């Protein structure tokens, strides 16, 4: 009777051990913030594969229902590293080298200083300065 109970317990526990190897549904935590896995937007898709921090091996995940995300960000900002010109902005016109230059501006110079302050220290002080001795009163407790 013990062996039948042990066999039933073993058979009943096996499906729970394989429960973590199935597929996962990916639902974003915040609306409008995509979940990107290897360049594919996996929001609201099904992901199958053994990956994550709790696993010892890494298998490339299979994503069912995801869509590819472009490499160029689709935002209203200008990224100089992409090698594209900005969509809008001022048009830089380089002037010719032999153009007539404007007259140079007038010179401008400003200094900040303070007048010399009188000092009590002589200009060439002696090597040793003797300070006056002051006797402080002693207090008894």
From 86, 67, 70, 68, select the one nearest 78 (Cα to Cα).
Answer: 86
The whole-model pTM stands at 0.38
Q: What is the pLDDT of residue 31?
A: 84
For residue 90, what are the CA distances in angstroms to 78, 86, 95?
Answer: 13, 10, 15
Query: What averages of pLDDT result for each successive group of 10 residues across the chain (141 residues)?
Result: 74 60 83 86 86 66 86 67 73 85 89 80 77 80 66
As a residue count, the chain comes to 141
The answer to whether residues 46 and 23 touch, using CB atoms and an 8 Å cutoff, is yes
Could you tell me how far CA 60 lies from the centroid of its own chain? 27
Alpha helices in 2-85 (DSSP H): 2-17
For residues 24 and 45, the answer to whether their CB atoms sit within 8 Å is: no
**At 68, which helix (H) or strand (E)?**
strand 67-68
CB-CB contact of 40 with 69 (8 Å): yes
Span between the terminal Cα atoms of the chain, in Å: 94
């Amino acid at each position: 009777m013990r062996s039948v109970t042990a066999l039933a317990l073993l058979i009943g526990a096996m499906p729970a051990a394989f429960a973590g190897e199935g597929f996962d549904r990916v639902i974003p935590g915040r609306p409008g913030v995509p979940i990107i896995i290897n360049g594919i937007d996996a929001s609201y898709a099904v992901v199958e594969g053994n990956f994550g921090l709790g696993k010892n091996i890494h298998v490339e995940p299979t994503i069912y229902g995801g869509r590819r995300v472009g490499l160029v960000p689709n935002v209203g900002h200008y990224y100089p590293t992409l090698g594209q010109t900005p969509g809008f902005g001022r048009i830089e016109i380089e002037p010719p080298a032999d153009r007539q230059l404007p007259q140079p501006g007038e010179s401008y110079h400003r200094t900040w200083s303070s007048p010399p302050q009188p000092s009590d220290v002589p200009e060439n002080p002696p090597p040793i300065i003797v300070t006056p001795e002051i006797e402080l009163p002693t207090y008894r407790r």
